[in-house]
Amino acid sequence: MPLLDELRARLGEGAVLSGTALAGRSAGFWHPEPLRAAALVRPASTDEVALALALCHAAGQPVVPIGGLTNLVGSAACGEGEIALSLERMNRVEAVDVAGRALTVEAGLTLQRAQEVAAAHGLLLALDFGARGSCTIGGVIATNAGGNNVLRWGMARAQVLGLEVVLADGRVLGALTPYRKANAGYDLKQCFIGSEGTLGVVTRAVLALQERPAGGATALLACERFTDVTALLRLVDRALAGTLSAFELMWGDFYALNAAAGGGAAPLPAEHGYYVLVEACGESIAADEARLQAALEAAFEAGHVSDAVLAKSGPERERLWAIREATEPEQHAYRATQTFDVSLALDAMEAYVGRVRAGLARAAPAAVLHVFGHLGDGNLHLLVGHPEAVAQATTAAVEALVYEPLVACGGCISAEHGIGLEKKRWLPRSRSADELALMRGLKRTFDPAGILNPGKVFDPDPQG
């Protein structure tokens, strides 16, 4: 492949891996198979990313930008004829602006490392989710990642102050600006955030940091009715005024599965309808615990909560979070699990989950539904576990059972995971024909040759 020779000549031998040099590379956290790609290209600077893309663009070579490969919907899946572009050699921390609470990093840095750098300066990078140790800042931004603290600090979009992107043709765009306000023409960086690598390659970013809360208090609460859960959200949000950082909801059956798997006694008996993990981060542990305690008492008094436990130590807090975040119990219990990530209005949730459950009971009676989610964000995750090997027709039927009633009640087929390949065929059910036409228009504007992550989110433009 003459293009690979050219890339090697310009970027150096070690920057371009192909053939046997790729054998040890996996296709990602959820995909034990080897990475398939014509080559893995690893530029060491923005200039090298620009050079690599300019060469690929000239050759009409499809390029798949990859990060930590933890994506759940195939947004970074690579084909044999495609070049995987990894920023793993661009993982430097470039600047920590302590007064301005801003962190400038290269996009190949992992989220966890960025969190650690912020913490070392008494600051907080308020993005957090399970894949923190593997996922990269570039991937976080390209997928507009969410996670556990969106309720308080927003999605990745809310935390990007400055962005540098290389366009498909090698032009370098954007500015590493550290301020929170800029209304100087169209805010182009918004187009790249959440575009799943189809419009440009994120190379560097300035991320907003927060003062690191000195406090922290965590509680697990049990409720019987869904209306108790939504009333509880309002009650604790008011009572914890500004310090509520997480409000994670688990349906009773999800809690039962994960609490039983942890070893030792469950923090609360698995007999309630719903469980809510509430976390407050304010000025001190004592103040946070006092406010949370008072909120719990008010919730008991109002009849919204039937049982509760406050974490009394770091390990107790970790145990509560492990119940919420563990994926192993589901993996052990089922031969295959289908994962869904939807958003919808709070007042439509209970009926929606009921419809999915009823549909499954009819069409896939062996399947087991577990539901949890980030209630304050309107975001539910549905896990459909299959105890036995499952036919393609059944998984397709389950998809329809999940998405049909969702679309009917105005919900969204992806809250935080993205579309990638796996949800592509459902996108036209979630977005209008005019919206899809404009998305294709944006794609043509930023990547007219269509070389960047082709076929992700939507199929290549027949006109392009």
Which residues, 322 to 381, sit near a copy of itself by CB under 8 A? 343-347, 374, 376-379
319 binds a copy of itself (CB under 8 A): no
Using the rule CB under 8 A, which residue among 130, 154, 262, 450 binds a copy of itself?
A: 154
Give the C-alpha separation, 148 to 126, whole Å: 9
> Least CB distance from residue 126 to a copy of itself, whole Å?
11
One of 184, 265, 391, 393 touching a copy of itself (CB under 8 A): 184
Q: Which residue from 112, 174, 167 is spatially nearest to 137, judged by alpha carbons?
A: 112
User: What does 249-285 look like in DSSP terms, one character per residue?
Assistant: EEEHHHHHHHHHHTSS--SS-TTSSEEEEEEE--S-H
Q: Contacts with a copy of itself in 10-29 (CB under 8 A)? A: none
In DSSP terms, which residues pair with 249 in a beta bridge?
Answer: 276, 373
Under the binding rule (CB under 8 A), the answer on residue 240 touching a copy of itself is: yes
36/381 with CB nearer a copy of itself:
381
- Across 28-54, b (16+ Cβ under 10 Å) vs e yields bbeeeeebbbbbbbbbbbbebbbbbbb
Site for a copy of itself in 377-436 (CB under 8 A): 377-379, 410-419, 423, 427, 430-432, 434-436
Minimum Å distance from CB 265 to a copy of itself? 33
219 near a copy of itself, rule: CB under 8 A: no
- State both tokens at 29: 């956290």
Q: Which of 267/420 has CB closer to a copy of itself?
A: 420
| Binds a copy of itself (CB under 8 A): choice among 110, 115, 143, 394 | 143
Token code pair at residue 312: 């009394």
For tokens 């031969």, what's the residue?
A: 335
Quote the least distance from Cβ 60 to a copy of itself, whole Å.
Answer: 21
Binding-site size, a copy of itself (CB under 8 A): 96
Which residues 444-463 are close enough to bind a copy of itself by CB under 8 A?
444-446, 457-458
* Three-class secondary structure of residue 320 per DSSP: helix
Q: Counting Cβ atoms within 10 Å, is residue 336 exposed (0-12), middle (13-18) or buried (19+)? A: middle
Count of Cβ atoms closer than 10 Å to residue 345 Cβ: 11
* Cβ closest to a copy of itself, residue 192 vs residue 321: 192
Interface with a copy of itself includes 146 (CB under 8 A)?
yes
Distance, in Å, from the CA atom of 256 to the CA atom of 202, rounded to the nearest integer, reads 41
Cβ-based nearer residue to a copy of itself, 226 or 255: 226
Among 4, 217, 257, 439, binds a copy of itself (CB under 8 A): 439
Q: Rounded to whole angstroms, how far apart are CA atoms 224 and 207? A: 40
The yes or no reply on residue 203 touching a copy of itself (CB under 8 A) is no
Phi, psi of 33 (to 5 degrees): -65, 160
How far apart are CB 252 and a copy of itself at their closest, in Å? 20
User: In terms of CB distance, is 142 or 220 closer to a copy of itself?
Assistant: 142
Q: List binders of a copy of itself among 285-314 (CB under 8 A).
A: 291
In angstroms, the CA 11 to CA 49 distance is 9
Q: How far is the CB of 217 from a copy of itself (least distance, A)?
A: 12
SS (H, E, C) 276-317: EEEEECCCCHHHHHHHHHHHHHHHHHCCCCCEEEECCCHHHH
Site for a copy of itself in 59-98 (CB under 8 A): 97-98
Nearer to a copy of itself, 42 or 417 (CB): 417
Q: Does 195 bind a copy of itself (CB under 8 A)?
A: yes
**Contacts of a copy of itself in 95-114 (CB under 8 A):** 97-101
Give the integer Cα–Cα distance in Å for 90 and 68.
Answer: 13
Give the residue among 450, 41, 418 at the shortest CA–CA distance from 193: 418
Binding of a copy of itself at residue 283 (CB under 8 A)?
A: yes
Q: Among residues 234, 260, 354, 459, which is the contact residue for a copy of itself, using CB under 8 A?
A: 234
